[in-house]
Amino acid sequence: MSNGTLYLVPAPLDFGCDEQAPLQDALPLGTLQKAAGITHWICESAKSARAYLKRIDAVVPLAAPLQAQQITELPREVHKKGDHAGQFDARPLLAAALAGQDMGLLSEAGMPAVADPGSSVARAAHALGIPVVPLTGPVSLLLALAASGLNGQNFAFVGYLPQDADGRVQRIRELEALALRSGQTQLFIETPYRNAVLQQALLQTLQHHTRLAVARGLTLANAAVRSDTVKGWRAAPMPADERLPAVFAIGR
């Protein structure tokens, strides 16, 4: 029996937001059709996965009822410590694919394994000879980078900045020095309710000629992207939104 395929299924970027955009506005029909045909899933949260599948079912009928979907959550330690270091063995999660079933990998928002858990599952699939196919959908980091006007030829995503004030300021200075020296755009994210704290720290710490871009609520009706020098930001502040996910970028 040939192996099934592991599909990386992107999710809309409205997770946790007050509003939800129509699913077909954020994801192509082909992605929704492929997702509707999958009945075995690996995800961050079974509750979120079922909610997403319910939205898909309203557009393209699912191949099996929600109650019959086989949904497995990644372990909690993968969420807390990350799974990109190769310490978590995800091969047991792919038993259905080895038995010939197609499987889907889901994160809460955007593309799984990009700024979210899932890389261990993709790595395990390659090790087992299971084809890995990413489906088309929104990736907030690339959308933010494209809209920022910053260097899209040389960039890095550095995840979350430290939560403690001193560590955050030190990290901002390190990233700014790298961006100004090399021209490499530095992208990072924060939990929405800490957006204001991070934005304030950036405006207080960065040099006036450094460029700062903030992209929030991407793909939603109230999406906003602003890119300006820190001097420009200070002259005309834009309040941070603590309800919407945001991507921050600095460069020259």
Q: pLDDT band for position 245 (50/70/90)?
A: very high
pLDDT exceeds cutoff 90 at 87: no
pLDDT in tens, 42-85: 999 999 999 999 999 999 999 999 999 999 999 887 766 667 66
Structural domains for the chain:
6-134 (3.40.1010.10), 140-251 (3.30.950.10)
The closest alpha carbon to 125, from 116, 134, 138, 115, belongs to 134
Q: pLDDT tens-digit profile of 166-199?
A: 999 999 999 999 999 999 999 999 999 999 999 9
Q: What is the structure's pLDDT at 77?
A: 77
* Alpha helices (H) in the chain, listed in sequence order: 23-26, 29-36, 46-57, 76-81, 95-98, 119-128, 140-148, 165-182, 195-205, 230-235
Q: How long is the chain?
A: 252
pTM of the model: 0.92
115 phi-psi bin (left φ>0, alpha ψ -120 to 50, beta other): left
The two structure tokens encoding residue 169 = 């300021």
pLDDT value of residue 69: 97
Q: How confident is the model at residue 110 (pLDDT cuts 50, 70, 90)?
A: very high
Kindly indicate the confidence band of residue 86, based on its pLDDT and cuts at 50, 70 and 90.
low
Torsion angle of C-alpha atoms 234, 241, 215, 15, degrees rounded to 10: 170
